[in-house]
Amino acid sequence: MQVKEKENVETTVDTRGLFCPLPLTIVSKKLKEIPEGKRLKVLADDKAFKKDVKFWCQETGNKLIDFKEVDGHYEAIIERGKGFHGEGLWEKIKFISLGIKLHIIQHILDLLPSKKPKYLITFVSIAEGLRADKWLKERGIDDYVLLPVPDEIYPHCGLVFGLRSKEKAVEIFNTLKENKFAVEDIHIVDRDKKYPVLQI
């Protein structure tokens, strides 16, 4: 007996009534909770979701299995992938270079404990973090550091903004959120490497 392509759904998330970037933020967080190869069913009614989810899947290495409109809302089936690693040769080179750069910064900070960030802002994708970084720098905001996402938060490649001050972390997070960037959470850097989410 052949298993249908759309089966194997691990869980369903309902984002109806929410608007960009909230649906993708919720989808990203939920997808990270399920194993690779498992699928998430998403219900959405934001008109931007159709375009956003296709683009987001491409830039995160997840697979959009099915997308349809049902009774005035969208239904998408997304399979969790292994993360984005670049498609063409130039993209792969840029991706690897970024990873090397972020890990070098992390190692330097490991040698300077007094400079290590205490708060980490996460994003729905590497590309979204890079867009947010460019946008903030264009506005003269640069009191954070780009770092690789800790494996304990997300075991695949990713980036976070590292900040020493809770107030500055909350300020930057809220600024990005108000300007429609798909930020996920602020994580607290703790000794046990559990990285709890800061409740704001």
Phi, psi angles (nearest 5°) of residue 25 = -60, -45
**Residue 57 catalytic?**
no
Contact 98, 92 (CB under 8 A): no
- The owner of tokens 């205490």 is 118
| Beta carbons within 8 Å of 131's beta carbon, 6+ residues apart | 181
| Beta carbons within 8 Å of 186's beta carbon, 6+ residues apart | 119, 120, 121, 122, 169, 170, 173, 197, 198, 200
Phi, psi angles (nearest 5°) of residue 41 = -100, 130
Cα(102)–Cα(85) distance, integer angstroms:
15
3-state helix, strand, coil in the chain (%, to 5): 35, 25, 40
Catalytic residue among 9, 13, 18, 20: 20
Contact 180, 20 (CB under 8 A): yes
Angle at 130 between CA 22 and CA 159, to 5 degrees: 80
Tell me which residues are annotated as active site.
20
